[in-house]
Amino acid sequence: MNLTEDYIFQKLLAAQHNSPDSDGYAEIPVKPDTRLKNAAVLVPLTYVINEWHLLFTRRTDRVESHKGQVSFPGGASDEGEATPEETALREAEEEIGMKPGDVKVLGRLSQLITVSSYRVSPIVGVIPYPYAFKVGGFEVERVFTIPLSWLATRSNYWEFSLRESDRSLIAYHPYDGELLWGATARMTVNFLKILEILT
């Protein structure tokens, strides 16, 4: 399948139309009185050597939460930010030096509620590559990409049920020494399902 920007845009638009305000998925059962904090991540798509890749970061061991984990650039919303796009683009600039004007936003994925009580809005955007990334020393250890075709190959990840709940966890096999699992893996697979390219 020839994945064009327009195809991706149309698929995201259709998915958002079908479930405009859906939380999509919660990593754990959420109690009614849980106070959720808003956050957003950029899901960066980039074209490398004739195929689409997703760009990820590996967090440092100095951050407060999710130490050393693979993630998308992102974080909590600041006061005054009206949309998750604002948050995602600001965080991407802070963490990897990606200027907002260099991101072509294509759409949103369903929100995801994390174990750390964040309601995360994933924002899909196309970024140029190669790019002069400026890695935020305190938060980000490394920036790397994984081909969409590898991520979409079903044998490269597994999904298993958690005994304490009716939820499941997704974890990928290592790629270039990196482990993609948890909320970031869930967002990745959700995106691949929308594109209808899982094999």
Domains of the chain: 5-150 (3.90.79.10)
The alpha helices in 36-181, defined as continuous H runs, are 84-96, 148-151
Q: Tell me how far apart the alpha carbons of residues 122 and 87 are, in angstroms, rounded to a whole number.
A: 10
What is the structure's pLDDT at 126? 98
Chain segment 65-117, per-residue pLDDT in tens: 555 799 999 999 999 999 999 999 999 999 999 999 999 999 999 999 988 88
**Number of H helices and number of E strands within the chain?**
4, 11
Nearest Cα to 105, choosing from 118, 119, 92, 120? 92
Could you tell me the pTM of the whole model? Answer: 0.92
Question: Token pair for residue 11?
Answer: 């698929």
Are 108 and 193 in contact by the 8 Å Cβ rule? The answer is no
More confident call, 115 vs 53: 53
Chain segment 1-39, per-residue pLDDT in tens: 689 999 999 999 999 877 655 555 666 666 777 889 999
Chain segment 129-182, per-residue pLDDT in tens: 999 999 867 788 899 999 999 999 999 999 988 776 667 899 999 999 999 999
Nearest Cα to 170, choosing from 53, 178, 180? 180
What is the structure's pLDDT at 147? 98
Chain segment 118-127, per-residue pLDDT in tens: 999 999 999 9
What is the structure's pLDDT at 64? 59
